[in-house]
Structure 1
Amino acid sequence: MALFRASECGVVCAITVFGYIVNGILCQSNITELISEIFPSCVLGANQINYIIYNRNNLLNGVTVDLESNRLPVESDLPVVFLVHGFTSEANNSRYQNLSQAWLKKYDVNMIAVDWKEGACSGGISLTQYLSYPKSIENAYEVGANIAQFIAKLIRDYGIALKNMLMVGHSLGAHVVGFAGKELQSNKIGTIPQIIALDPAGPGFLTSPCSNRVCKTDADFLQVFHTSDLGIIRPLGNDDFYYNGGIYQPGCSLTNLSCSHGKSVDYLTYSFEDSGCNLIGRKWAWFFGVPPKPECSNSTCSVPGIFAYKYPARGVFYVDTTNLSSSCETNFR
């Protein structure tokens, strides 16, 4: 916190706020600054929603626009992908940037990262962030509606068909894209072809009806990656992929749930990399917990990623990332 001279304010004090010792000259201007440092802006709503547009010629430094921007740097003949971050995060988080870059290196698309960090409680200190989580859930509805309006603008002003769009959301962002899908339908714009929900946030949604969370009616095809206890553990989509059982991920400690939670983004990124291995999902009775047998057929296996909808098998699948020699699409017979 900045200090001010006695001539600017007149009261010298030392106070403790949430463990922070503030020494020096206190006046209204630095009280406001202190409050903004402690309390996340999400308590005031989703006041700033930006769209960062990337393409193959601009992998690293996207162009930031908003709903009111007159010109959008999109190519009308290319598909559109929306990528939405989760709680306490932001669009320029390295995980999301890695996903965006891997996607663009593989496929030529308009990649649009939705930055709603103000509404997702990315500021403030940890205690107040988590106390403000219910407010970020409220904001998620507003962000979803804003995305639906942005999509309507792309359709109306740029001639991009809804059938050429896809939405990806991580954690609370998974529910945001679900709300966007609902809004598109309620406004009679249409139904988006596919949503990929990456470990959809569980807190606040565990008992929610379909109308208040991401749901398979929000898109023609809903694909869900399950990777941690922070996500909703039960199946939600047309295809539900449980990575290594969907609770803990290799390389993450049992107590670091956020590590396993973030792996859902990494696994989608991996699907775009030229590793020589597209991971297989095997049909699984998830409530029994026993990994499935290794045999694969069109009726028992699928491949997670943007083309999962092309495989005929539907339902719940177990994805093993610990034994790539038997878990690659090359072994899919």
Structure 2
Amino acid sequence: MRFFAYLTVLLFISHDGYCVEFHMSDVFSVLTHATVGALESIPRSIPSPSKFFELSKNVLIGFPYEIAYALINDFCSAALNSNSVFVKAKFTPKIESMSFILRTKDAHISIPINNPNALWNHTEFNSSNPLTIFVTGWKTNLKHDVSTAQDTMSAAYLCRGNVNFVTLDTAAYIDTLYSWSAFNTETIGECLSNALQSLITRYPLEKIHLIGHSLGAQICGAAGRHFTTNTKRWIPRITGLDPANPCFNNGEALSGLFRGDAQYVDVIHTNPGCLGKREAVGDADFYCNGMSPLQPGSFDVSSSHSRAWQYYAESVYPGQESNFLAKECTSMQAFETNCCHGPWISMGYATPTHVKGKYFLKTHSKSPYGENSRKYYQPVCVN
């Protein structure tokens, strides 16, 4: 053995004439260290019971949905390319049927989207405060979703105070067959763009922030593109909350929200590959709990899809801006093994508008969802 341990081996590399000398003892040393390192890493690579449960849940429940939605997306792309009847909207959007809803602590004030000056002139609209417009998605208009997305987001912003919080009532135009709803996003986005073009003649553009969930995110993207085309200016920020996936593909008729639709586009992914986009489409994309289609504590794609606005709303409350801290990374596995470098970045309300890249983070399975949250913290709302 000693002979082999100290045997000198010469390796000749013929193409450049060099030879490399090394000892078998070096080889054994490397192999020994590699083996020890692998054995030491085994405990870290074995998933905990909770991690194993989440993995099993996604394999058994989540990933079959992902395959199904991939097929739906392929069908929709084929229909769009063939100009099929499936993409012809049953209800063509009419601008006179849509309204801004100015939310205050005491009232929901409806203002026609084709009369944005009425919003500016309303006594409840404070022209010195920023304007946040929230657009919801499929099957979540004001008649069907009065106690969920709009109220949750509204409560968070009104607690923070010093903001004009407005929701967009799209009437029934994204409340019909999904393909028709998807096809309507471009037209509704153009309507929103026209209203914003009129509004900025009286109100500073730099104070406007668009937020959209699901199909609402795609409406915001369309609004941003039409706005820039017509004004050669950019909306400062668009936040996409799990932008709708089926039927929206870059380079096709319905391209969806994408970086460049505003000066800054940030995206929160909570149901990637199913109801929400899997691809990174923003300047900064935040993947909550990685690329798995189901969120912790969620057993269906719909509730995971909704987590995007739930996470964002939590981050709006005073004192909770840093509840969701993420790091730029290549994968969730790299994040969990501390292989991600760089600073922690807040996801949601306080996301810095200069950061770019793909960010990963973990969340709790129930509210408060942020891993950096204080369990019994009660925000102090502005009166």
Normalised by the size of structure 2, how large is the TM-score? 0.64
Residue in 2 that maps onto 1:315: 357
Q: Relative to total residues, which structure has the larger helix share, 1 or 2? A: 2
Question: Equivalent of 2:155, from 86, 101, 107?
Answer: 101
Aligned ranges 1:1-333 → 2 under 5 Å: 43-47=90-94, 48-54=97-103, 58-59=104-105, 61-69=107-115, 71-72=118-119, 73=122, 74-91=125-142, 92-121=146-175, 129=176, 132-156=177-201, 159-188=202-231, 190-206=233-249, 208-209=251-252, 212-228=255-271, 229-246=274-291, 247-253=293-299, 256-274=300-318, 278-286=323-331, 290-294=334-338, 299-310=342-353, 313-322=355-364, 327-328=371-372
For 2:112, the aligned partner's letter is: D
Residue in 2 that maps onto 1:11: none
Residue in 2 that maps onto 1:29: none
Between stretches 201-210 and 62-71, larger displacement belongs to 201-210
Residues 86 and 173, structure 1, Cα contact 8 Å, conserved in 2: yes
Per-residue CA shift, 1:103-140, capped at 9, x if unaligned? 1211311111001031012xxxxxxx4xx222112211
Instruction: Report the Cα distance in structure 2 between the residues aligned to 1:261 and 1:245, rounded to whole angstroms.
Output: 14
For 1:271, the aligned partner's letter is: S
Q: Is the alpha carbon distance of 1:301 and 1:293 closer, same or farther for their aligned partners in structure 2, counting shifts above 3 Å?
A: farther
Residues 221 and 309, structure 1, Cα contact 8 Å, conserved in 2: no
Instruction: Report the Cα distance in structure 2 between the residues aligned to 1:274 and 1:111, rounded to whole angstroms.
Output: 16
Instruction: Report the Cα distance in structure 2 between the residues aligned to 1:120 and 1:326, rounded to whole angstroms.
Output: 31
For 2:107, the aligned partner's letter is: N
Per-residue CA shift, 1:190-227, capped at 9, x if unaligned? 20111100000000014545972101100111100000
Q: Is the alpha carbon distance of 1:198 and 1:108 closer, same or farther for their aligned partners in structure 2, counting shifts above 3 Å?
A: same
Structure number, greater radius of gyration = 2
SS, match of residue 166 in structure 2? strand
1:67: how far off?
Answer: 2.8
Q: Relative to total residues, which structure has the larger strand share, 1 or 2? A: 1
Number of residue pairs matched by the alignment: 270
SS, match of residue 217 in structure 1? coil
For 1:83, the aligned partner's letter is: F
SS, match of residue 77 in structure 1? coil
Q: Is the alpha carbon distance of 1:200 and 1:326 closer, same or farther for their aligned partners in structure 2, counting shifts above 3 Å?
A: closer
Residues 45 and 135, structure 1, Cα contact 8 Å, conserved in 2: no
1:62: how far off?
Answer: 1.4
Normalised by the size of structure 1, how large is the TM-score? 0.74
Q: Is the alpha carbon distance of 1:211 and 1:94 closer, same or farther for their aligned partners in structure 2, counting shifts above 3 Å?
A: closer
Residue in 1 that maps onto 2:73: none
Residue in 1 that maps onto 2:54: none
1:271: how far off?
Answer: 0.2
1:147: how far off?
Answer: 0.8
1:304: how far off?
Answer: 0.8
For 2:91, the aligned partner's letter is: L
Seq. identity, %: 24
State the Cα RMSD in Å. Answer: 2.7
Instruction: Report the Cα distance in structure 1 between the residues aligned to 2:194 and 2:99, rounded to whole angstroms.
Output: 13
Residues 282 and 294, structure 1, Cα contact 8 Å, conserved in 2: no
Instruction: Report the Cα distance in structure 1 between the residues aligned to 2:333 and 2:98, rounded to whole angstroms.
Output: 40
1:189: how far off?
Answer: 5.5
Residues 162 and 190, structure 1, Cα contact 8 Å, conserved in 2: no
